[in-house]
């Protein structure tokens, strides 16, 4: 019996133990063989012999049960280890993306003008000379063409240098009154901390009957819009020049970095230039055959707004796709 116990103890896996179990407890097993001897035991000794066998059987059973529990426990532990899922493992499959700050800024601007009933218009990025320059009162050889460093194609087409050609396309396609914005990419040969060869603008154009649209309207809409974008800032209209507007203004807000004290970002002026605007020049209406109307127009760079809103120091960062920047906009 000692020997049988040892065989149980030496089984190191559940499989080995099962084999031992059959060898010991099975129909043709060691115990069955012992019990078979009972019939040859003389009558008076039968009882004691049987009791002895049963005791041994019970003891072996107990040893077996204990061994079984132990091996089973080891097996479960092995499985738990092997099949474990490390729930602390970083899982980026569930991470959500987000709008690029330039697109988010564009959407915020669009929301403002859509609420004022402006339509959203679109135009081609490869433009012709007429829409990008000529119709905007920028005749050939006019020095003001140099204000915008243009990418030219061999056939004379250009990458649009501003969204203003969409004004022309919209006026040629629709009758007044007009209340439109045109968001989109524009292109200029420029590259430094505040310029990239591709950037985005939003153009605005409002055309109504003479006397209906005034500089006062333009001023109030621009002021309200800039307060919507930048909160409680000072706003200043500075006389300026654009070929397609007369009079023209550039609009500044008090520097949101130094609150007008003067800092590096505002070149110590306390002011940040944020958009151009003006009353639509008569020559523009002539080019699209509009009569007895007046209007105002404005244009702004979306990247510049995004930079100011999020205090991004270098415009080029917006185009590098660096996730350390982009992750902050989730
Ligand atoms: N098109 C001008 C630019 O790109 C901006 C502008 C638009 C100015 C409309 C006045 C009116 O700089």
DSSP for 298-310, written as a single string? EEEEHHHHHHHHH
Ligand 1 centroid, distance to 248 Cα (angstroms) = 9
pLDDT at residue 1 in the model: 60
Residue 148 has pLDDT above 90, yes or no: no
Residue in 180, 97, 169 with CA at minimum distance from that of residue 131: 169
Ligand 1 centroid, distance to 163 Cα (angstroms) = 8
**Pairing assessment for the beta strands 126-127 and 235-242 based on DSSP bridges:** unpaired
Ligand 1 centroid, distance to 164 Cα (angstroms) = 7
Ligand 1 centroid, distance to 221 Cα (angstroms) = 16
Pair (215, 114) in one structural domain: yes
Task: Assess whether the previous peptide bond of 193 is cis (omega < 30° from 0).
Answer: no
Pair (123, 240) in one structural domain: yes
Ligand 1 centroid, distance to 198 Cα (angstroms) = 16
Name the residue at shortest CA distance from atom 4 of ligand 1: 162
The preferred substitution site among 221, 242, 302 for testing ligand 1, maximizing ligand atoms within 8 Å of CB, is: 242
Pair (55, 132) in one structural domain: no
Residue in 148, 101, 88, 155 with CA at minimum distance from that of residue 126: 155
In ligand 1, the atom with minimum distance to the C-alpha of 186 is 4
Tens of pLDDT along 163-187? Answer: 999 999 999 999 999 999 999 999 9
Pair (149, 266) in one structural domain: yes
In ligand 1, the atom with minimum distance to the C-alpha of 248 is 10
Q: What is the mean pLDDT of residues 203-229?
A: 97
Decide if 91 is inside a domain: no
Tens of pLDDT along 62-80? Answer: 999 999 999 999 999 999 9
Report the distance separating Cα 213 and Cα 296, nearest Å: 7
In ligand 1, the atom with minimum distance to the C-alpha of 201 is 4
Q: Residues lining ligand 1, judged by CB closer than 6 Å? A: 162, 164, 203, 242, 245, 276-278, 297-299
pLDDT at residue 98 in the model: 84
Pair (26, 119) in one structural domain: no
Pair (231, 105) in one structural domain: yes
Select from 24, 52, 82 the last residue of a domain.
Answer: 82
Range of the domain at 285: 101-329
Q: Is 230 helix (H, G, I), strand (E, B) or coil?
A: helix
Q: What is the mean pLDDT of residues 198-219?
A: 96
pTM, to two decimals: 0.72
Residue 2 has pLDDT above 80, yes or no: no
In ligand 1, the atom with minimum distance to the C-alpha of 277 is 10
Pair (51, 112) in one structural domain: no
């Amino acid at each position: 019996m000692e020997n049988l116990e040892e065989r149980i103890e030496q089984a190191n896996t559940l499989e080995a133990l099962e084999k031992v179990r059959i060898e010991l407890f099975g129909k043709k097993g060691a115990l069955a063989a012992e019990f078979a001897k009972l019939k040859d035991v003389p009558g008076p000794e039968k009882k004691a012999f049987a009791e002895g066998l049963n005791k041994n059987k019970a003891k072996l059973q107990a040893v077996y049960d204990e061994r079984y529990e132990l091996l089973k426990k080891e097996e479960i532990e092995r499985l738990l280890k092997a099949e474990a899922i490390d729930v602390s493992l970083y899982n980026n499959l569930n991470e959500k993306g987000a709008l690029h700050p330039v697109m988010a800024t564009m959407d915020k601007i669009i929301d403002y003008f859509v609420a004022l009933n402006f339509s959203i218009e679109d135009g081609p990025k490869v433009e012709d000379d007429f829409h990008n320059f000529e119709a905007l009162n920028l005749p050939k050889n006019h020095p003001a063409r140099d204000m915008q460093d243009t990418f030219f194609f061999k056939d004379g087409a250009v990458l649009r240098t501003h969204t203003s050609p969409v004004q022309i396309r919209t006026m040629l396609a629709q009758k007044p009154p007009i209340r439109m914005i045109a968001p989109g990419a524009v292109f200029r040969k420029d590259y430094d901390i505040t310029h990239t060869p591709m950037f985005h603008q939003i153009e605005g154009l409002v055309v109504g009957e003479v006397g209906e649209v005034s500089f006062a309207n333009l001023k109030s809409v621009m002021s309200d819009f800039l307060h919507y974008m930048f909160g409680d800032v000072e706003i200043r209209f500075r006389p300026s020049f654009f070929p397609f507007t007369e009079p023209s203004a550039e609009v500044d807000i008090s520097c949101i970095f130094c609150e007008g004290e003067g800092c590096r970002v505002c070149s110590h002026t306390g002011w940040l230039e944020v958009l151009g605007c003006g009353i639509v020049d008569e020559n523009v209406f002539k080019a699209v055959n509009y009569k007895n109307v007046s209007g105002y127009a404005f244009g702004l760079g979306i990247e510049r707004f995004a930079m100011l809103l999020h205090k991004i120091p270098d415009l080029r960062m917006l185009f590098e796709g660096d996730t350390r920047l982009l992750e902050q906009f989730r």
